Amino acid sequence: MTQGYDPNTLAPALRYGDTVVLVPDGWNALVAYAGAEDARPWAEILDNVTGTPPNLDACKWRLEPPSRHDVPKKVKQFLKKTVWDEGKNLPVPDIPEKNVDMEIQVHEFLDENDLSRENTYNVVRELFDFLVMLGDELGANTAEMERVRGKELQYGSALDLVHVLTGTVMTIGKDRAIEHESKRVFMHPDGTNRSNFAVRPAYKTYSNGLSVASGDLVQFESRGTISGARLSLHMSNLESLAKDPDIVRRQMMSDHPYIIGGQEVNAMAPRDGLLPTCFRVLLCQSFENTFRIDGILRAGDIFTFYHKQTGGYLHYDSEMSDKPILYESGRVSKQARKKCQWLWQVESCQLYKGGYEIEAHAHSRARYRIKHLITGMYLMNREGDIVVSKDATGPDSHFFFRPFEKNTESHVFDRDDLVFVRSTEGEYMMQAEPPDLKSSFDTYHTTTKKEIRSRVKHVGMKRTEMLPDSDAVQFSPVSSRAVKAVIEVQRQISNLEDLEEQLELLPDCAPGPSFNPKHDLQQINKAANQARSSSTGFLDKLVEFKGANGVVEIFGNCLRLWKKRLPN
């Protein structure tokens, strides 16, 4: 997990805005969150030979300045004790814009919602005053974030741990954790004052005020007291969790063989000789690389690989072919919608500085893996064949990129640059002769087969002294909006599949000797909450998503099982 990091050499100081991974001391594990319904982060345990997790995006955290959240609590208390909408269950108004006439704003709101000016004006005005305060607090947090980002992180200073993939904030809750005498940790959409952590050194040789360097062992301690004590983030070591195979599959939404177990991330105070976990904070992407918009391509970015000579995108769809192919398409412009089968993520083969610029110079030792976004499969070079596999530990899955321009002095790639894809064995990706595809396209009708076959070109790896210029491919980054949509659909599919499995296991709600009302209805209510969360606005996202029919089938199975399980 610490490949590329040398504790005996100088390491860069961590700064606010840096993206890091958190490695529990003594474990080949990472703190991760995949968007599970209970919003609980976990420590996913990897096998001993794995240096980079297959779900790296779920393991990235950004070190942000601590935000204050005093007003949301006041708003929540006000809404709980006050009837401000005459019982109409109106949504809370948006935060008013600055410098608006509040009297006019309140009267317009009352009139639009047919509320009584005489009886309701005072409470609605109080609500709007709270919303103004909330806007001011959010503005102050944003200004402080912009001011502090880029400054060195020091021992004793405070921060928020923001999950890069979801934007949620690690927060200590009030409920008890799975581990005895610990508090639950969960991911809050915006953060609270319980999201603020002070960075403490693992060893007394460090003192407050010294810079925190990448690779240092630290503890994350709550900034304020919780239940009379300061709590620190901790990784459990429970045998019951270690033996539960569903932990990883359900919480990490992954059944990848590299992830062999999971433990709870909670918050605890030192007790009975047990100390909170120390975490090694490894820099993955620097502040500059995270927020600088300069068109330079970085590891972790998501691309399409466009072969200009054939007019085809590197494409993988197991229903079409068991190997990646070049799929001819006219969707060439930046605005044109790209198929999700064309999306590939370039990952560094090491975590440390794994989000830096993709290196272009010929003598670079940097190696990269190319992962298919929607299947999680890695591009592999197998004796000249390009295939995909979940196994990405060997050199067959390692590639680097040679610039197309022969006279370039640049050591990085820019957006839409042409590159050659080279294996560690010195072979290059290029158009290949068609293999025997007798078993391919069997799921398609005859007319569809002909149309698809005419669009397909095949690729392989070949060693050559004279590299054809025609086999350069173009790096074309994909918009973050499109990527988020694909990832969200994947997450919801996982939720629905999990829900379907849970419903299969629930008993029928028919009176009988095996029916336990207390236990069974608790399970049904739990599944009901998950169903509501999974289905809200979900089907609207499936219009352009490959496999939509399969997802609708899963959803239909859930509804069928739901009807069977619930009492009339």
pLDDT per residue as tens digits for the range 355-365: 888 887 666 77
Q: Of the ranges 414-428, 469-483, 507-521, which one carries the lowest mean pLDDT score?
A: 507-521
Provide the pLDDT confidence category of residue 130 given band limits of 50, 70 and 90: very high
> Which of 128 and 445 is assigned the larger pLDDT?
128
Which three-class secondary structure state does DSSP give residue 371? strand
Query: What is the 8-class DSSP label of residue 537?
Result: T
pLDDT tens per residue, range 68-104: 999 999 999 999 999 999 999 999 999 999 888 999 9
The DSSP 8-state label assigned to residue 379 in this structure reads E
Q: How far apart are CA 46 and CA 239, in angstroms?
A: 16
Residue 133 sits at φ, ψ, to 5 deg, of: -60, -40
Higher pLDDT, 297 or 22: 22
Instruction: Provide the token pair at 296.
Output: 């330079």
**Are 369 and 258 a contacting pair, CB within 8 Å?**
no
pLDDT the model gives residue 544: 42
Taking residues 33-39, report their average pLDDT.
85
- pLDDT single digits (tens) 546-563: 444 555 555 555 555 555
- Answer yes or no: are the C-beta atoms of 146 and 185 closer than 8 Å: no
Res 232: pLDDT: 97
For 302-311, 498-507, 535-544, which range has the lowest pLDDT when averaged over its residues?
Answer: 535-544
pLDDT tens digits, 280-294: 999 999 888 777 766
- pLDDT per residue as tens digits for the range 299-308: 888 889 999 8
Distances (CA, A) of 401 to 52, 282, 361, 390, 498: 20, 25, 8, 22, 39
- What is the per-residue pLDDT for 391? 84
Determine the Cα angle at 286 with ends 285 and 289, to 5°. 85
Q: Which two tokens stand for residue 94?
A: 């948006």
Q: Does pLDDT of 107 surpass 50?
A: yes
* CA gap 54, 389 in Å, rounded: 12
- Mean pLDDT across the stretch 234-251? 84
Share of the chain above pLDDT 70, in %: 81
- Cβ within 8 Å of residue 172, ≥6 positions away: 183, 184, 185, 194, 195, 222, 226, 231, 267
Average pLDDT, integer, range 150-161:
96
Residue 490: per-residue pLDDT: 74
Question: Token pair for residue 338?
Answer: 């790209």
Q: How confident is the model at residue 258 (pLDDT cuts 50, 70, 90)?
A: confident
pLDDT at 216: 94
E strand or H helix at 527: helix 517-535
DSSP lists the bridge partners of residue 163 as 61
Q: Round the average pLDDT of the chain to a whole number and report it.
A: 82
Q: Which of 455-464, 468-477, 511-520 has the lowest mean pLDDT?
A: 511-520
Q: Highest mean pLDDT: which of 10-14, 505-509, 559-563? A: 10-14
Averaged pLDDT, 305-327: 89
CA nearest to 252, candidates 262, 239, 240: 262
Which pLDDT belongs to residue 465? 78
Report the pLDDT averaged over residues 292-320: 85
Output the pTM of the full model.
Answer: 0.81
Q: Give the least confident one: 55-64, 342-351, 397-406, 541-550.
A: 541-550
Q: Percent of the chain beyond pLDDT 90? A: 43
- 400 close to 411: Cβ distance less than 8 angstroms: no
Residue 541 predicted with pLDDT over 50: no
Most confident of 41-55, 235-249, 436-450: 41-55
Res 437 pLDDT > 60? no
Residue 228 CB-density burial (10 A; 0-12 exposed, 13-18 middle, 19+ buried): exposed
Among the ranges 111-125, 248-262, 459-473, 533-547, which has the highest mean pLDDT value?
A: 111-125
Give the pLDDT mean for 234-246: 87
- For range 444-457, the mean pLDDT: 65
DSSP 56-105: GGGG-EEEEPPPP-HHHHHHHHHHHH---STTS-PPPPPPPPTT--HHHH
Provide the pLDDT confidence category of residue 214 given band limits of 50, 70 and 90: very high
225 pLDDT exceeds 50?
Answer: yes
The answer to whether residue 534 scores a pLDDT higher than 50 is no
